[in-house]
Amino acid sequence: MDHVEWRERPQLRNPALICAFRGWNDAGEAASAALGFLIDSFDAREVARIDPEDFYDFTAVRPNVRMSEGRSRVLDWPANTVHAASIAGAEHDLVLLQGVEPSLKWHTFTRTVVDIARELGVRSVVTLGALLADVPHTRDIPMTGICSDADLVERLGFQQSTYEGPTGMVGVLHHVFTEEGLPSVSLWASVPHYVAAAPNPKAALALIRSFEGVAGVAVDATDLEESAEDYQRQVDAAVATDPDVKSFVERLEQTLDEVSDELSPDPDQLPSADSIARDFQRFLRQKRAED
């Protein structure tokens, strides 16, 4: 693994690899924010990083210069870092890959990520992404789950994706890990396109909640919930000042309601009480182990 700088190779329990990248896959910075929140929440430690030299056109993805302690300059290169977290009370520890979508040599980059996963004994993969969509900010964030095989689709209750078209590093990794025989789930949040320029903590929170169900890991997202509520209030206030935007949002709401009426779920397909109870018990076990 010539492109990997290791700090340590931790011993982990049935780890799940979680990946997110800034760039094309990261509308409203939701996916990268969700992964950063997981790293902070579980006090994950950096165990490795991928050397950026071969994977970026530095005229397109430039390094940044910043001041340190107001005196010296520090140069930050585009980074892809690997963190590890031991999760007390959960069935899986976590390996978290956070970075910037590469510009070059995607085959080599994906092979490098697979090698890291093999080195750390990864047993499953969850990729996080966010896309722009015609959805109103006033409703719950629509989530899409893509699974690597039919059994996983049925168990998690997702639909098999029929998407055809351009994809990003998240889609490529999902495909490669499926070919490697590792169970892989790709979670996507839909971000309102008319507020795409602002970071979207509401979408990041939706990714975190979907991640909990897929990975079987409970996350205390109180801080992110508060940020999502503040975001909602700020966007509501901004929309209310512009009649054209307000009318546009109302049309989106109407369209969504019409689609929802047509796709109302069969009561027999709703989660059972036993399923809800198991999820809640898992959360309590993890919290007791942490305490």
Q: Would you place residue 244 in the very low, low, confident or very high pLDDT band (cuts 50, 70, 90)?
A: confident
pLDDT tens digit string along 187-209? 999 999 888 888 999 999 999 99
Which whole number is the average pLDDT over 158-165?
A: 72
> Residue 281 pLDDT > 60, yes or no?
no
Residue 234 CA to residue 101 CA, distance in Å, equals 30
What CATH number should be reported for the domain holding residue 205? Answer: 3.40.50.10900
Q: Tokens at residue 195, please?
A: 């507020």
pLDDT at 269 over 90: no
Confidence of residue 161 (pLDDT cuts 50, 70, 90): low
Q: How many C-beta atoms surround the C-beta of residue 142 within 10 A?
A: 15
**Residue 90 structure tokens:** 């959960």
- pLDDT, residue 106, reads 96
* Contact between 206 and 190 (Cβ < 8 Å): no
For range 70-87, the mean pLDDT = 90
Distance from C-alpha of 142 to C-alpha of 191, rounded to nearest angstrom = 8
Give the structural domain span for 266.
Answer: 4-290
The pLDDT > 90 percentage for the chain reads 58
pLDDT at 290: 60
Q: How far are the Cα atoms of 130, 173, 185, 186 from residue 110, in angstroms, in the given order?
A: 20, 6, 16, 16
**Stronger pLDDT, 128 or 145, i.e. the higher one:** 128
Query: What mean pLDDT is reported for the chain?
Result: 86
R_g of the chain, CA atoms, integer Å: 20
Q: Residue 282 has what pLDDT?
A: 53
Residue 23 or residue 262, greater confidence: 23
Lowest mean pLDDT among 44-58, 78-92, 114-128: 78-92
Q: What are the phi and psi torsion angles at 256 (to 5°)? A: -65, -40
User: What's the structural domain count of the chain?
Assistant: 1
Q: Which comes out higher in pLDDT, residue 164 or 11?
A: 11
* Residues contacting residue 158 through CB under 8 Å, at least 6 positions apart: 144, 145, 146, 147, 152, 185
Q: Tell me how far the alpha carbon of residue 154 is from its chain's centroid.
A: 21
Answer whether residue 2 shows pLDDT above 60. Answer: yes
Instruction: Report pLDDT for 273.
Output: 44
| Alpha helices (H) in the chain, listed in sequence order | 30-41, 106-119, 150-156, 169-179, 201-215, 222-240, 243-262, 273-290
Lowest mean pLDDT among 15-29, 120-134, 247-261: 247-261
Q: Return the H-helix or E-strand segment holding 100.
A: strand 94-100
Confidence label for 280 from pLDDT (cuts 50, 70 and 90)? very low
- Identify the band that residue 211 occupies on the pLDDT scale cut at 50, 70 and 90: very high
Question: What is the SS3 assignment for 140?
Answer: coil
Residue 128: phi and psi, rounded to 5, are: -115, 135
Please state the rounded mean pLDDT for residues 247-259: 86
Report the pLDDT value the prediction gives residue 70, as an integer from 0 to 100: 73
The answer to whether 180 touches 114, Cβ cutoff 8 Å, is: yes
Confidence of residue 268 (pLDDT cuts 50, 70, 90): very low
Range with the poorest average pLDDT among 21-25, 45-49, 140-144, 263-267 = 263-267
Choose among 127, 117, 103, 129: nearest CA to 27: 129
Residue with structure tokens 């639909």?
159
Q: Is 36 exposed, middle or buried (0-12, 13-18, 19+ CB in 10 A)?
A: middle
Q: How far apart are the first and last CA of the chain?
A: 38
